[in-house]
């Protein structure tokens, strides 16, 4: 029987700490029961299954995806990151199920939405609008977006945060980490405390819409003189810690360009790759969330629309220069200089075994292959991404080398990987070397 198609629907967000904890407990118990039944069946057949094989089944992945999409908040956000970062390492059916978390989330029912807006704008707020669409135009892990027209004629996008998200961040991250420990996905030897602390800090920043509004304005100023990009304008009078108001900009999802002419796809990716290098080397501030939904395209103006600046991070002058040295060394194919730059950045330490240092350097050199080619690099017809995935999995499976690099580099790697994935999805052909050399 074919699986029922996933459709977002109005579901109240469980906002209390105990109600969210109960969701995690119910999910764990449900999965444990499934594992016990499956394990008994395997034993009856004379097999000795591994716990991870019993846990990572399509049925269990479906239960996790359904529960996280209902809970939303940090729990869903962590699930999204896992599905994006580890998707290629999971069996295809599991990756597809967890991929639901990157699609539209369920959204708040009207009553819950009204309560949130009453708390932030005061009762009678509807009098400020000619029209306010109760059905969101987008729903994600931390909030949902509504289109509205004010009485003074402003066409706006209003992002409303789900209730209880900020209060539940720390416990959600801890509970997801506990599930991962239980599954064996995280080795016992690895100290993930720094990573969890950073995840909590980042999510607390993303849940502060006044802070995101300041990032939105900053990027608008940085790109004001460049007509190739457009950033929504912040609306201070309607923005609070839980509500972000900005101008609505017409556009289409960037993934929809898969059927656009080749030159359109090439130009969009040239702009996004150039922006990535500008963020690192010129602005020293980067929007690090690689979700495709953060980019849209206006076919009439040819502009790339930039959205969602919650996951914005600043980089020091030293980090920017360290990465510039690393890129230069890679372009020169100087392995000694590459090693020194990688060491300075912190991808490995002086006492890291030689074989692990070699593996990391080999993997970096693999990532530089597109920059050694003259002319356009064809993202559709190459195996660099597959070879890097295989190399990364091989390094990850070596329990002698579990090293967490500085957090800034992890967020930067995620952004680089997301842009590469989008270029592959669009089958773009881009002269990456020419773009890169402008910043060297």
Active site residue 289: yes
Within-domain flag for 70: yes
Whether 66 contacts 30, CB under 8 Å: no
Dist. CA 248–CA 246, nearest whole Å: 6
Share of residues in the chain with pLDDT > 70 (%): 67
Q: What average pLDDT does this structure show over 293-313?
A: 93
Give yes or no: residues 189 and 270 share one domain: no
Strand-strand pairing, 229-230 and 303-306: parallel
Dist. CA 183–CA 187, nearest whole Å: 10
Whether 105 contacts 140, CB under 8 Å: yes
The boundaries of the domain holding residue 188 are 17-107+165-202
Give yes or no: residues 31 and 174 share one domain: yes
Q: What average pLDDT does this structure show over 293-315?
A: 93
C-alpha separations of 204 from 171, 199, 200, 208, 211 in Å: 12, 9, 6, 7, 10
Dist. CA 158–CA 237, nearest whole Å: 12
Give yes or no: residues 320 and 189 share one domain: no
- Mean predicted lDDT score pLDDT of the chain: 77
Amino acid 265: pLDDT: 97
Give yes or no: residues 186 and 77 share one domain: yes
Within-domain flag for 286: yes
Query: What are the tens digits of pLDDT across the range 98-128?
Result: 445 444 567 788 899 999 999 999 999 999 9
**Long-range CB pairs of 405-411, under 8 A, 24+ apart, other chains included:** 405/345, 405/346, 405/347, 406/345, 406/346, 407/194, 407/195, 407/198, 408/313, 408/315, 408/319, 409/345, 409/346, 409/347, 410/195, 411/202, 411/286, 411/288, 411/311, 411/313
Give yes or no: residues 180 and 97 share one domain: yes
Give yes or no: residues 341 and 196 share one domain: no
Within-domain flag for 370: yes
**233: CB partners within 8 A, 6+ apart:** 220, 246, 247
Give yes or no: residues 342 and 407 share one domain: yes
DSSP assignment letter at 136:
-
Q: Which strands make up the sheet holding 252-253, listed edge to edge?
A: 229-230, 303-306, 295-298, 252-253
Amino acid 57: pLDDT: 56
Give yes or no: residues 42 and 185 share one domain: yes
- DSSP code per residue over 173-215: HHHHHHHHHHHTSS-TT---HHHHHHHHHHHHHHT-HHHHHHH
Within-domain flag for 236: no
Give yes or no: residues 262 and 184 share one domain: no
Within-domain flag for 120: no
Segments of 267-362 assigned E as strands: 285-287, 295-298, 303-306, 312-314
Q: What average pLDDT does this structure show over 308-335?
A: 91
Q: Which neighbouring-strand residues pair with 107?
A: 10
Has residue 94 got a pLDDT over 50? no
Within-domain flag for 3: no
Dist. CA 267–CA 299, nearest whole Å: 12
Within-domain flag for 354: yes
User: Residue 360: which pLDDT band, with cuts at 50, 70 and 90?
Assistant: confident
C-alpha separations of 403 from 19, 122, 395 in Å: 35, 49, 10
Give yes or no: residues 300 and 375 share one domain: yes
Give yes or no: residues 342 and 416 share one domain: yes
**What are the two backbone dihedrals, phi and then psi, of residue 247, each rounded to the nearest 5 degrees?**
-65, 145
Give yes or no: residues 415 and 334 share one domain: yes
Whether 288 contacts 294, CB under 8 Å: no
Q: Record the tokens describing residue 126, joined without a space.
A: 């509807």
Q: Give the total number of structural domains in the chain.
A: 2
Asked which of 19-33, 116-130, 362-376 is least confident by mean pLDDT, the reply is 19-33
Amino acid 165: pLDDT: 82
Please identify which of the residues 155, 208, 221, 289 carries the catalytic annotation: 289
Has residue 45 got a pLDDT over 60? no
Within-domain flag for 151: no
Tell me the pTM: 0.77
Q: Identify which of 360, 429, 433, 349 has the alpha carbon closest to the alpha carbon of residue 391.
A: 360
Q: Identify which of 119, 123, 158, 118 has the alpha carbon closest to the alpha carbon of residue 138.
A: 158
Residue appearing with tokens 């230069």: 328
């Amino acid at each position: 029987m074919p699986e029922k198609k996933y459709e977002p629907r109005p579901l109240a967000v469980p906002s209390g700490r105990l109600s969210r904890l109960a969701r995690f407990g119910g999910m764990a118990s449900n999965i444990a029961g499934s594992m016990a039944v499956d394990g008994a069946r395997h034993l009856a057949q004379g097999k000795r299954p591994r716990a991870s094989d019993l846990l990572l089944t399509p049925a269990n992945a479906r239960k996790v995806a359904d529960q996280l999409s209902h809970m939303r908040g940090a729990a869903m956000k962590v699930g999204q990151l896992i599905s994006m970062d580890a998707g290629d390492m999971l069996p295809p059916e599991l990756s597809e199920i967890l991929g639901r978390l990157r699609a539209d989330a369920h959204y708040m029912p009207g009553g819950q939405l009204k309560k949130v807006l009453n708390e932030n704008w005061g009762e009678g707020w509807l009098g400020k609008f000619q029209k306010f669409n109760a059905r969101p135009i987008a729903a994600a892990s931390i909030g949902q977006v509504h289109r509205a027209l004010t009485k003074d004629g402003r066409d706006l996008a209003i992002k409303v945060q789900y209730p209880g998200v900020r209060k539940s961040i720390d416990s959600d991250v801890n509970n997801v980490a506990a599930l991962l420990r239980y599954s064996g996905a995280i080795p016992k030897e690895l100290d993930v405390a720094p990573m969890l602390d950073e995840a909590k800090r980042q999510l607390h920043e993303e849940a502060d819409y006044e802070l995101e509004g300041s990032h939105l304005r900053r990027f608008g100023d940085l790109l004001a003189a460049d007509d190739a990009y457009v950033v929504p304008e912040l609306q201070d009078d309607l923005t609070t810690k839980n509500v972000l108001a900005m101008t609505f900009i017409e556009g289409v999802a960037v993934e929809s360009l898969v059927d656009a002419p080749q030159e359109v796809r090439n130009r969009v990716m040239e702009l996004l790759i150039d922006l990535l290098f500008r963020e690192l080397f010129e602005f020293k501030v980067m929007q690090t969330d690689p979700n495709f939904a953060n980019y849209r395209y206006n076919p009439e103006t040819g502009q790339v629309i930039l959205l969602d600046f919650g996951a914005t991070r600043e980089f020091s002058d030293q980090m920017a220069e360290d990465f510039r040295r690393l890129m230069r060394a890679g372009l020169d194919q100087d392995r000694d200089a590459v090693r020194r730059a990688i060491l300075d950045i912190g991808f490995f330490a002086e006492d890291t075994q030689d074989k692990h240092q070699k593996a990391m350097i080999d993997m970096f050199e693999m990532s530089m292959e597109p920059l050694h080619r003259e002319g356009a690099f064809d993202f559709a017809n190459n195996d660099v991404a597959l070879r890097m995935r295989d190399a990364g999995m091989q390094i990850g499976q070596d329990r002698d080398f579990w090293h967490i690099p500085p957090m800034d580099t992890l967020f930067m790697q995620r952004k680089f990987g997301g842009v590469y994935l989008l270029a592959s999805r669009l089958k773009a052909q881009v002269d990456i070397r020419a773009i890169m050399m402008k910043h060297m």
